[in-house]
Amino acid sequence: MSDAMSAGLVLVDGVWHTGNPGVLGPQSHGVWLGSTVFDGARFFDGCAPDLVPHCDRAVRSARLLGLAPQVTGEEIAEMAWRGISKFSPRAQLYIKPVFWADEGFITPDPATTRFALCLSESAMPEPSGFSACLSSFRRPARDMAPTEAKASCLYPNVARCVREANDKGFDTAVVLDPCGNVAEFAYTNLFFAKDGQVHTPAPNGTFLNGLTRQRVIGLLRDAGVEVIERAVSYSEVLAADEVFGTGNYFKVAPCTKLDDRTFAIGEAYMKARALYWEFARASNG
C-alpha cells in the first residue's frame, strides 16, 4: 500500500483526497466557534458493524448543533463502503463523518453546512487491558453543554481528563457526572460485573449512550446475562469483580487496573467481547 493510502482518504464535495486536505480555514465557523460534529465507525475483519447507525447519529448531531446536513445516514454509509473498497480487504479502518458550518457569528449559518468523510488506517488495539484512575473533572449536564451530540466542542474536557490520568501513569480516567455518580470512562462507556450481574451507569444526559454500549447490552441480555442500568458510585466500581469498557475505537476491552485496585480479565468481559465479535462478523453495517 502506498504512503498516500496509508495517510487515509477524505471525501469532500464528491472528490477523494489523500491525507488531510485543507478544507477548513481559520474563519470557518467550525474552527472559530465550534460547530463541528463527527462520528466514528470501524471496518475490520471485512465488516463494518453498525455503520448506518453511526452515520445516522452524525446527522442527528449536526442537527442538534443547528446545522442543516444535506445527506442521510444511509447515503454516508454508501460513500463509506466506496471508500473502504479502495483499501485492502484486510485493512482495519477508522471511519469518520464530519459536519461543520463555514459561516455564522455565534450561531452557525445552516445554509453553509459542509460535510467530509474520512477513512484512515487504524489497527484494532490488542485486548490486553487498560488502566484508569478517578478524574478530578466531571461531565457537564445536558443544560450546560450539547451533550446529546457527538460534538467536537465536548472533547477538550475529555482531553484534560485523559491528560490528568496520563500524568499519573494511567491510560484513561473514570469521570463522574455533576451529581457525583459515575458517568463513564473518559471516552468509552463503563461496565462492571459483581456476583454474576453486569452493571452500567444509566444514560442521564451527561454522556452519550454509545452504540457499542447499546449493542453489548442487547447481546448480553439475549444470552441470558442480567444487565442493570442504574446510578453507580465510584466505590461500587472499585469493589467490582471485573470492569470493562465499550466504545467504537476498541469495541470491548478489559480494565485491569483502577487506581490502586487490580482486576483479572473476567468472564463477563470475555462473553461480551465474544458475543460482539460474533455479531460484527455477521454484520454488513
Residue 101 pLDDT exceeds 90: yes
Residue spans of the domains in the chain: they are: 3-121, 130-281
Residue 37: all three cell numbers together: 460534529
Report the topology of domain 3-121. D-amino Acid Aminotransferase; Chain A, domain 1 (3.30.470)
Q: What is the pLDDT of residues 38-72, one digit of tens each?
A: 999 999 999 999 999 999 999 999 999 999 999 99
The owner of cell 483499501 is 87
CB 50 within 8 A of CB 44: no
pTM score: 0.94
Q: Which three cell numbers mark 245?
A: 469498557
Q: Say what the pLDDT of residue 1 is.
A: 37
pLDDT at 7: 75
**Half-sphere CA count of 201, side-chain side, radius 13 A:** 31
CATH class, domain 130-281, is: alpha beta
CA distance 192 to 215: 16
pLDDT of residue 285: 61
Percent of the chain clearing pLDDT 90 (strictly above): 96
Q: Are the folds of 3-121 and 130-281 the same?
A: no
Q: Model confidence at 6, in pLDDT bands (50, 70, 90)? A: low
- State pLDDT tens for residues 191-243: 999 999 999 999 999 999 999 999 999 999 999 999 999 999 999 999 999 99
The whole-angstrom separation of Cα 18 and Cα 217 is: 37
CA distances from 256 to 95, 133, 176, 221, 281 (A): 28, 11, 19, 24, 26
Give me the DSSP letters along the chain.
--HHHHT-EEEETTEEEES------TTSHHHHT---EE--EEEBTTB-TTHHHHHHHHHHHHHHTT----S-HHHHHHHHHHHHTTS-TT--EEEEEEEEES-EESEE-GGGEEEEEEEEE-PPPPSS-EEEEEEEEEPPPTTTS-TTS-BGGGHHHHHHHHHHHHHTT-SEEEEE-TTSSEEEESSSEEEEEETTEEEEEPP-SSS---HHHHHHHHHHHHTT--EEEE---HHHHHT-SEEEEEETTTEEEEEEEETTEE----HHHHHHHHHHHHHHHT---
